Amino acid sequence: MMSIVLAIVIGLAFGAVLDRVGASNPNFIGKMLNLTNLNLAKSIMLAIGIGSVLMFGGQMLGLVDVGHMSVKSAYAGVFIGGLMLGAGWALAGYCPGTGVVAAASGRKDALFFIAGGLLGAAAYMMTYPAWKNSGLLDGFAGGKVTLGTVPGAKYDGLTAFPGDILGLLLGAVFIAVAFALPERIMTAKSKAQPAE
């Protein structure tokens, strides 16, 4: 029971942070994707970097149990689904998490986004046998693998490089990039000024 309460509390806190940094506003997502305002991208990269440093650092110190690490299998369907998710994110201005946060904050358009996602999930479930038979769900590159070998984990590494060190280094790179990124790469197109 306590794990459910903890999950709800963490989920609420995560949702509040997403809303606070603007991730529940499709206008912010659009500005991030057209490179005119990278503050949200910087926030995302900083969160990933800090999370990675904390997780792998905690693992090295024995504070985090690698037995809880879950690695998903690599297969063609994941990459196709990722492309579809990215296209949907760009078109709608929401990803599944930010859509729920936007709905909770009162955005009615997010309700349509959530309904569309649920319909898509239902369509996938109904056609799952066909996808399974197509071979798109067959694992490749060893299936469940990590970039580096993590001591005590049950997953193989693609390289012999220690996974915890690699996780710390990648986390540090994400943090550095988050601070180094400019606020914008492209400038917003200026509105046409009336002739005098």
What is the reported pLDDT for 192? Answer: 47
Structural domain includes residue 35: yes
Structural domain includes residue 196: no
Structural domain includes residue 174: yes
In this predicted model, what pLDDT tens digit does every residue of 1-51 receive, in sequence order?
788 898 899 889 988 988 888 888 888 888 888 889 888 889 889 999 999
Structural domain includes residue 160: yes
Burial class (CB in 10 A: 0-12, 13-18, 19+), 196: exposed
The count of structural domains within the chain is 1
**Residue given tokens 């990269």 in the structure block:** 45
Task: Find the domain containing 167 and state its range.
Answer: 2-180
**Structure token pair of residue 128:** 């799952």
- Spatial separation of the C-alpha atoms in residues 113 and 97, rounded to whole Å: 11
Structural domain includes residue 194: no
For residue 62, the surrounding DSSP H or E stretch is: none
Q: Give the chain's mean pLDDT.
A: 85
Q: What is the pTM of this model?
A: 0.75
Structural domain includes residue 64: yes
DSSP letter (8 states) at residue 138: S
Structural domain includes residue 141: yes
Structural domain includes residue 188: no
pLDDT at residue 158 above 90?
A: no
